[in-house]
Amino acid sequence: ETGVTQSPTHLIKTRGQQVTLRCSSQSGHNTVSWYQQALGQGPQFIFQYYREEENGRGNFPPRFSGLQFPNYSSELNVNALELDDSALYLCASSLGLAGVRTGELFFGEGSRLTVL
Amino acid sequence: AQTVTQSQPEMSVQEAETVTLSCTYDTSESDYYLFWYKQPPSRQMILVIRQEAYKQQNATENRFSVNFQKAAKSFSLKISDSQLGDAAMYFCAYRSENTGANSKLTFGKGITLSVRP
């Protein structure tokens, strides 16, 4: 069984640029959520996708957007990067809404974004 | 809004001994879930244990157990017989039952646990 994989693992961007992060969910998982983890902080919920539709969003501006594809993989896009966007971005998948409800989230190792 | 507080940034334990990690939370809701997640240096977050607020019995998973005090809004994690592989960052997290399908977890800042051989 393949776990959650994220790419790239590390990347460096400059302020104002755009970035796309990718996530392949665990086999059979149709729900994906994204979290931002700043250095020394706990993860913060960005948004969740279920069956290709966003069905929950945290306190992040519209320049944070996402997609979920028919194979349940997902992308996180961030436009107009700011210095404060530097963080570890975590993707988590779950088996349907039951998995969501019980917190049985399977996390990837994250993408470390540095904005200069 | 719910908040989760982990006031101890770091803790250390001798191998084979017991350690307790503290967590408090603030909520006006009565139905919710609480979780402890472990984030080893490889960074992959793993669910350690969960507690449903409506259950009075404290959850236990092998060497991991919790002390859930609903009135005090306290949710501590006890690790018995600590092993070197337990060294990691531990996050306490809250999920409202009222968010429906939304998986939003509210995390604390985490605590770094080191295990001394």
DSSP B51: E
Range with lowest mean pLDDT among A24-38, A56-70, A88-102, B52-66 = A88-102
Q: Is B38 on the interface with A (CB under 8 A)?
A: no
Chain segment A68-112, per-residue pLDDT in tens: 999 889 999 999 999 999 999 999 998 876 666 676 788 999 999
Contacts of A92 in chain B (CB under 8 A): 45, 103
Cβ neighbors of B15 (< 8 A, separation 6 or more) are: B82, B83, B84, B115, B116, B117
Mean pLDDT of all residues in chain A?
Answer: 91
pLDDT of residue A99: 66
Residue B101 has pLDDT above 60, yes or no: no
Polymer length of chain A: 116
The residue with greater pLDDT, B89 or A29, is B89
pLDDT of residue A98: 67
- Using a 10 angstrom Cβ sphere, with 0-12 exposed, 13-18 middle and 19 or more buried, the burial of residue B36 is buried
pLDDT of residue A101: 67
Closest CB to B101 among A97, A104, A107: A97
pLDDT of residue A20: 98
Q: What angle do CA B34, B47, B113 make, to 5 degrees?
A: 90
Contacts of B91 in chain A (CB under 8 A): 42-43
